[in-house]
Amino acid sequence: MRWFWRKKKKARTIEEKIALYRRLPRRLDIYREGVWLIVMIFGLGIAAINTGHNLLYLLLGFLLSIISLSGILSERMLKRAVVDFLPPDGLHVGEITRIPVGFKYTGRWGRVYSLRASPLLDDGVAETVPAYAPQLTAGERRRFIMRTRFLRRGIYSSPRARLETDFPFGFVSKSRLLEVESTYRVWPRIHPVQLDPPNRAEQQYSDQAGYVSVTGEEFFSVREYRPGDPLKRIHWRLTARATRTVVRELELPGSPRLSISCVIPSLGEPAQEDAYADMAASLAVAGLNAGYLVELVTPHQKVKAQRGRAQQRRILNVLAEEPADGPIQSAGVVICAQDPFGRPLELGFRGDAPHWDLVRVE
């Protein structure tokens, strides 16, 4: 009799969740009110059958019709709806991120109501408030917001999306899986850390704190105009085409460089492991904001020293997928700064971060 008492195992991973839908393409989750309705139907059915009272049969028919109609309408809602996720380039651990989800109703007439969509993820990866579409007309395409907070860094790919509805009466929630892929790059947490800009002696290389100097010769890139940029650096042709003023950025013969080395040990505690990545990411972002060329070195990857938003993305992507398998002896975040001529620079930190003990300055 052990099989009878064995508790049903809850599906935790994506594969287990997909397997549930393989058996039955639609899943029903009965709410408490639905359970009471079913109990009422059973009770009424027994009373009607026992007594033969026709009006009880009439009421039984009414309740059964509610259930049947509920099933038919909820199926109609699910059948013709498709969704599309638009995750941003990256989102940070612990931050509530608004992810647009496109809903489309492909039917030719009528409307659909009360649809909720969410990506299929492993349990414990994220807290999600599904995107909710209150109403869509035939052929309409609209975007609604899904709010997510990822609990761990990493790159998560969701091969399916779960579309559910409890229309029309809210007794039962019916859901199905859609073949919609979406990928979420979850970057480490960024603590509010600031690095002092390179010292005064090197400020000949920068017009303002944190910005790159223009005394170089080589064309580097264009960027938006900042107050203080020399007018001769304005790229007039691009400015005419774009709706904002852009300036040329020229490469320096050298720039202050910040080198960050991050080794994440295997501790068995995800929060503790992520702390290393968080500190490395926070320092990298602070360095980039301060005007350094930042490079990142990990046991598995190396990101060459560069600056700018793209560099920030590269560093964060690497830190997002850096596995926690480094040796404990060399675990930690090591940071060192050099001027354009290779001389070491002093680093000044400001700001609040919980894990300074993991950081070593060389």
Q: Does 35 bind another protein (CB under 8 A)?
A: no
Q: Does 166 bind another protein (CB under 8 A)?
A: yes
Q: Does 41 bind another protein (CB under 8 A)?
A: no
- Angle made by CA atoms 313, 314, 317, in degrees to the nearest 5: 80
Q: Does 183 bind another protein (CB under 8 A)?
A: no
Selected from 145, 201, 209, 271, the binder of another protein by CB under 8 A is 145
Distance in Å, CB of 31 to another protein, minimum: 9
CA distances (Å), origin 258, targets 133, 195, 198, 200: 47, 11, 10, 17
Q: Does 310 bind another protein (CB under 8 A)?
A: no
Dist. CA 39–CA 48, nearest whole Å:
14
**What does the buried/exposed string (b/e) look like for 93-124 if buried means 16 or more CB atoms within 10 Å of the residue's CB?**
bbeebebebbbbbebeeeebebbbbbbbbeee
Distance in Å, CB of 202 to another protein, minimum: 40
Residue (14 or 81) nearer to another protein, CB: 81
Residue 276 sits at φ, ψ, to 5 deg, of -65, -45
Selected from 168, 265, 270, 308, the binder of another protein by CB under 8 A is 168
Q: Does 60 bind another protein (CB under 8 A)?
A: yes
Residue (18 or 63) nearer to another protein, CB: 63
Residue (33 or 269) nearer to another protein, CB: 33
Q: In a 3-state reduction of DSSP, which class is residue 58? A: helix
- Angle made by CA atoms 35, 172, 85, in degrees to the nearest 5: 150
Binding mask 113-132 for another protein (x = CB under 8 A): xx--------------x--x
Residues 335/175, Cβ–Cβ less than 8 Å: no
Sign for the pseudo-dihedral over CA of 36, 42, 47, 52: positive
Selected from 52, 227, 230, 342, the binder of another protein by CB under 8 A is 52
Q: What would the two tokens of residue 161 be?
A: 């999306």
Residue (15 or 95) nearer to another protein, CB: 95
Radius of gyration (Cα) for the chain, nearest Å?
A: 29
Dist. CA 85–CA 308, nearest whole Å:
27
Dist. CA 316–CA 165, nearest whole Å:
37
Q: Does 134 bind another protein (CB under 8 A)?
A: yes
Q: Does 163 bind another protein (CB under 8 A)?
A: no
Q: Does 30 bind another protein (CB under 8 A)?
A: no
**DSSP track, 316-334:** HHHHHH--S-B-STT-EEE
Dist. CA 281–CA 302, nearest whole Å:
14
**Which residues between 89 and 108 bind another protein (CB under 8 A)?**
96, 102, 104, 106, 108
Q: Does 71 bind another protein (CB under 8 A)?
A: no
Residue (52 or 342) nearer to another protein, CB: 52
Q: Which residues bind another protein (CB under 8 A)?
A: 33, 36, 40, 44, 47, 49-66, 68-69, 73, 80, 82, 84, 86, 96, 102, 104, 106, 108, 110-111, 113-114, 129, 132, 134-135, 137-145, 147, 149, 166-170
